[in-house]
Amino acid sequence: MTYPTWDEGHARRVQAMVMLQGGAMTLLGLSWFAWALSMHRPLLAVTDLALGIAGVTLFSLVARGRLRTATILTAHVSPLLLALLCLFDNPSPDIPRSTHLFFLPMAAGGYFAFRQHDIYLRLVLPAVYLVAFLVFALTPLKFTDPAWLIPPFAEWTAAWLNTVCALLALVVTVVLMHADLTERHAREKELRSAIARADFTLHFQPQVDLERRVLGAEALLRWRHPTRGEVGPDAFIALAEETGLIVPIGDWVLRAACAQLARWHARPETAHLTLAVNISASQFLQPDFVETAIGVIQRSGVAPSKLRLELTESMSTDDIAATAAKMQALREIGIVWSLDDLGSGYSTLQGLSRLPFGQIKIDQSFVATMGSDTPDTHIVEAVTTLSARLSLALVAEGVETEEQFRKLVELGCRGFQGYLFGRPMEVGAFEAALLADTPRA
């Protein structure tokens, strides 16, 4: 499954939240584990140990750069462990139940972390946490065997500790949510101003053939920020998609790319170049997308056959017929459609069989992990064979080493893109490298 991209600020705050949660789970879980063992409460000890292990697992995943995996894991495992721990809670008229209070920061944190995700992660899971909170708050649900419950003399300590920790967790979550919202509003304001002033530029990464001759390039967006310098798309595309600003940004990219392509075609030494442009799902799904694209192409005077419009396979294709109709309308004037990041989603074969693609691009994650006899190598080989059978052009992305290049050639690939042949560069540097026939890496 493909998930939405987290911007840098949101990812940083989610990481802080997950790390704090992991620390609390580890400390509380292992501490209560030692106490439960000393009190001869084996089932409670095992549950507390599982809580501590879950906390250590979160640390491990975050340390390995798998923040989203850690967040999704804790969103499903933590409430199960918490519900089980609530059953050990022994409420009485003098000592109220307290363990269930952790469901409140858990619900707030889940909504905060997954605010860009589908309804299940964003709303359903937090709603389940709130229902669990109400169930344990309004009912005396607990284990019936007194030997399994927390003894009365320890309930006061547990109640105070749980209440303080749960309130602290809720305060931290609210602070992180407020910081996230404040930064989001400020960044959205900056982005709107950038659109109004056209504070963007395109960089170009070479695409080469077997002989490493530059056949074209991919246009990659940069934001010329007044204080941060040139900012890559990873820092703002997620916000642009969330706010709908991706549509005017995408329109600017298409206009700028076509204008540059027209300038190249006016010069004999660059007239052969093709140019690939990424089209977002929001941009593609606009009712007037076809008319807008045709208008831009006609006004620029560019040859449509030199333009590659890239769609990711994760783009929604609920209405295949409507998608195919739009693609076909532009294909009829000569535009080539490219399926980007092949293998990063789950609907590729259906798209390839029913949508008029002319090119596919192998996702760089497969290229990076190719070996002598690895599953990813077999996938790349299968994609190469598939592209040949379907008469589709093929480009492998993320080629960074000579070994990767040689392996791709052995597997039958004939188009390449990556740092080995050139990093994304400004148009002047790209043209200089092209004319020198030595694109800089």
Helix (H) or strand (E) holding 224: strand 214-225
CB atoms within 10 A of CB 40: 9
Look at residue 109 and tell me if it is in a domain. yes
Contact criterion met (CB below 8 Å) for 308 and 277: yes
What's the pLDDT at 313? Answer: 63
Model confidence pLDDT, tens digit, residues 330-380 = 999 999 999 886 655 544 566 677 889 999 999 888 888 887 677 888 888
Residues 23, 78, single domain; the answer is: yes
What's the pLDDT at 439? Answer: 46
Look at residue 307 and tell me if it is in a domain. yes
Give the integer Cα–Cα distance in Å for 11 and 79.
22
Look at residue 237 and tell me if it is in a domain. yes
Residues 223, 298, single domain; the answer is: yes
**Least confident segment among 29-33, 86-90, 404-408:** 86-90
Model confidence pLDDT, tens digit, residues 237-296 = 888 988 899 999 999 999 999 999 999 999 999 999 999 999 998 999 999 999 999 999
Q: Which of 279, 312, 307 is nearest to 216 (CA)?
A: 307
pTM of the model: 0.79
Residues 271, 356, single domain; the answer is: yes
Residues 216, 181, single domain; the answer is: no
Residue 246 burial (10 A CB sphere; 0-12, 13-18, 19+)? buried
Residues 164, 272, single domain; the answer is: no
Give the integer Cα–Cα distance in Å for 385 and 373.
17
What's the pLDDT at 275? Answer: 98
Residues 36, 163, single domain; the answer is: yes
Average confidence (pLDDT) over 48-77: 95
Q: Which of 138, 164, 186 is the last residue of a domain?
A: 186
Residues 206, 182, single domain; the answer is: no
Look at residue 62 and tell me if it is in a domain. yes
Burial track 403-432 (b if 16+ CB lie within 10 A, e otherwise): ebbebbeebebbbbbbebbbebbebebbbe
Q: Bridge partners of 395?
A: 361
Average confidence (pLDDT) over 381-396: 91
What total number of domains does the chain contain? 2
Residues 177, 241, single domain; the answer is: no
The two three-digit tokens of residue 208, written as one number = 């080469």
Domain range for 106 is 8-186
Look at residue 193 and tell me if it is in a domain. no
Q: Which of 371, 381, 438 is nearest to 412 (CA)?
A: 381
Residues 148, 293, single domain; the answer is: no
Give the integer Cα–Cα distance in Å for 270 and 431.
8
Look at residue 117 and tell me if it is in a domain. yes
Q: Which of 186, 212, 231 is the last residue of a domain?
A: 186
Q: Which percentage of the chain shows pLDDT scores above 70?
A: 94
Q: Which of 153, 186, 219 is the last residue of a domain?
A: 186
Give the integer Cα–Cα distance in Å for 190 and 193.
5
Residues 204, 172, single domain; the answer is: no
Instruction: Look up the CATH number of the domain holding residue 251.
Output: 3.20.20.450
Residues 173, 248, single domain; the answer is: no
Number of residues in the chain: 441
Residues 152, 211, single domain; the answer is: no
Give the integer Cα–Cα distance in Å for 20 and 58.
10
The two three-digit tokens of residue 359, written as one number = 């090119």
Most confident of 39-43, 133-137, 138-142, 434-438: 133-137
Contact criterion met (CB below 8 Å) for 309 and 265: no
Contact criterion met (CB below 8 Å) for 195 and 248: yes
Look at residue 385 and tell me if it is in a domain. yes
Look at residue 192 and tell me if it is in a domain. no
